[in-house]
Amino acid sequence: MHVNRRIMNSFALALPPQSRSSPPSGRTQEIDATSKSALEQRYRHVRSFSEKLCQTLEPEDYVIQTMPEASPTKWHLAHTSWFFETFLMKQFFQDYDSMHPQFGFLFNSYYNAVGPFYSRTHRGLLSRPTVKEVFDYRADIDVLVSDLIESADEELLAKLEPILILGLHHEQQHQELMLTDIKSVFWQNPLRPVFRTRDEAETLPMPLMEWLRFREGLYWVGHDGPEFSYDNEGPRHRTFVPGFALASTLVTNAEYLAFMEDEGYRRPELWLSLGWNAVKERGWESPLYWEKRDGRWFAMTLAGMTEVVPEEPVCHVSLFEADAYARWNGARLPTEAEWEIASSSLPLNGNFVESELFHVTPIASSASDGRPAQMFGDVWEWTRSSYSPYPGYTAVEGALGEYNGKFMCNQYVLRGGSCATSQSHIRRTYRNFFPPDTRWQFSGIRLAKDLI
Ligand SMILES: [Fe+2]
């Protein structure tokens, strides 16, 4: 490898001073992973899971890009490695000499401060580097990261660790995108390939929805504390929330079918104006991936086409569809503050990617215990909150300040994680965000109501 591995003892980073002493886009001290072995183990665990996800893919699968907002699997695998090379290797190895200087252009996603980057919409046109070369690139980066950790003294370790942890959370985000993007690739193919086989879900009783009431008050929301979070989750602050009710369960396929059968997609009065435009222009008649065959609804899953299960949470709906469904139901979507307040006493358990089902599950029990069910995992829950900065928020200076802050326009917040999210990646304060017409993520609906 053509790389000078002398570590910068003087720590002459290109990052701004603020970025040197605190994690650039995630604020953390990550006390749990202070030892080198724990850090290396965590690194290997996350990196190897990306490769585990690829076990059933063939080389042809890695290259396709179905739409501008999705990326080929090969690009995700390379980009996550580029992230470590750019923000660790180039910062902490003196006179770092990249083995693939041109990869900086191909696999920089959107960091203007790092340099120019290849067109996002054309990522699927890159036959080179090959899949094998990308895996070799990953392996080389893994060796360098391991070298960096092992040879760092305590002071340097304290400085590189927050960036490394950020890189691992970044990779976990991309693992979810790898799944949603390969689902889109397989959906494009009339053969409807299977990513992973899955046993048929057990039939369970239809969940009974209850309205759970929450008092008005001044609540604390947002992240605070030593553990990792993205910068957009803070500062923790108080917000006044009027009394509200939250549905104890997610909206199911059966409930959503009732909306469809009541002409939900043909009634403009139910839709936001932009949503109605989307319905007409794109011919929406059902959630993404649904297909009617001989009068029965089927849906594309990562296990291929399967019949829609009435008891499962509805998935792959846009904010526009979630909002129209809520209006049809005489309800509304929750705000992100309401969602966070309602989840405050719940354990962070659910159907996450670790289950390797890669699909939503019906609620485990129809009995309500007075707490909202399936708040974490299964589907990201749309909120009616625009993705905007919390009071006092400022993005850090420098390239990694571009991670979150510059996207705070024309997007909506989703909460709770999905069956494609890592459990070790999600938090109660986690703010995911997508444009309101987005449907290819594992996104679903929970209803709310005013109590006024
Ligand atoms: Fe990224």
| Number of other CB atoms surrounding residue 326 within 10 Å | 24
Closest CA to 125 of 74, 56, 55: 74
CA–CA dist 66, 177 (Å, integer): 13
For residue 215, the CA-to-ligand 1 centroid distance in Å is: 39
For residue 182, the CA-to-ligand 1 centroid distance in Å is: 16
User: What is the Cα 312 distance to its own chain's centre?
Assistant: 21
For residue 83, the CA-to-ligand 1 centroid distance in Å is: 7
For residue 95, the CA-to-ligand 1 centroid distance in Å is: 25
For residue 234, the CA-to-ligand 1 centroid distance in Å is: 20
* pLDDT for 398: 87
For residue 346, the CA-to-ligand 1 centroid distance in Å is: 30
For residue 156, the CA-to-ligand 1 centroid distance in Å is: 25
For residue 396, the CA-to-ligand 1 centroid distance in Å is: 17
Tell me the pLDDT band of 9, cut-offs 50, 70 and 90.
Answer: very low
CA–CA dist 219, 216 (Å, integer): 9
For residue 76, the CA-to-ligand 1 centroid distance in Å is: 8
pLDDT digits (tens, 9 = 90+) for 374-420: 999 999 999 999 999 999 999 988 898 998 999 999 999 999 999 99
pLDDT digits (tens, 9 = 90+) for 181-200: 999 999 999 999 999 999 87
* pLDDT for 28: 45
* pLDDT for 7: 56
For residue 173, the CA-to-ligand 1 centroid distance in Å is: 8
Q: Which burial class, exposed, middle or buried, applies to 450 when counting CB atoms under 10 A from its CB (0-12, 13-18, 19+)?
A: exposed
Closest CA to 162 of 25, 16, 28, 47: 28
* pLDDT for 397: 84
Tell me the pLDDT band of 22, cut-offs 50, 70 and 90.
Answer: very low
For residue 375, the CA-to-ligand 1 centroid distance in Å is: 26
pLDDT digits (tens, 9 = 90+) for 277-294: 999 999 999 999 999 999
For residue 409, the CA-to-ligand 1 centroid distance in Å is: 18
For residue 107, the CA-to-ligand 1 centroid distance in Å is: 9
CA–CA dist 417, 408 (Å, integer): 19
For residue 371, the CA-to-ligand 1 centroid distance in Å is: 35
Backbone phi, psi, residue 162, to 5°: -60, -35
Mean pLDDT, all residues of the chain: 92
The single residue listed with the structure tokens 């209850």 is 210
* pLDDT for 341: 98
pLDDT at 439 over 90: yes
CA–CA dist 5, 92 (Å, integer): 9
pLDDT digits (tens, 9 = 90+) for 324-372: 999 999 999 999 999 999 999 999 999 999 999 999 999 877 666 889 9
For residue 174, the CA-to-ligand 1 centroid distance in Å is: 7
* pLDDT for 199: 86
For residue 368, the CA-to-ligand 1 centroid distance in Å is: 39
The single residue listed with the structure tokens 């006493």 is 345
Contact criterion met (CB below 8 Å) for 228 and 28: yes
pLDDT digits (tens, 9 = 90+) for 240-271: 999 999 999 999 999 999 999 999 999 999 99
For residue 446, the CA-to-ligand 1 centroid distance in Å is: 28
pLDDT at 26 over 90: no
pTM for the predicted model, two decimal places: 0.93
pLDDT at 108 over 90: yes
The larger pLDDT score, comparing residue 205 to residue 18, is at: 205
For residue 167, the CA-to-ligand 1 centroid distance in Å is: 9
pLDDT digits (tens, 9 = 90+) for 58-92: 999 999 999 999 999 999 999 999 999 999 999 99
For residue 17, the CA-to-ligand 1 centroid distance in Å is: 23
**Strand, helix or coil at 300?**
strand
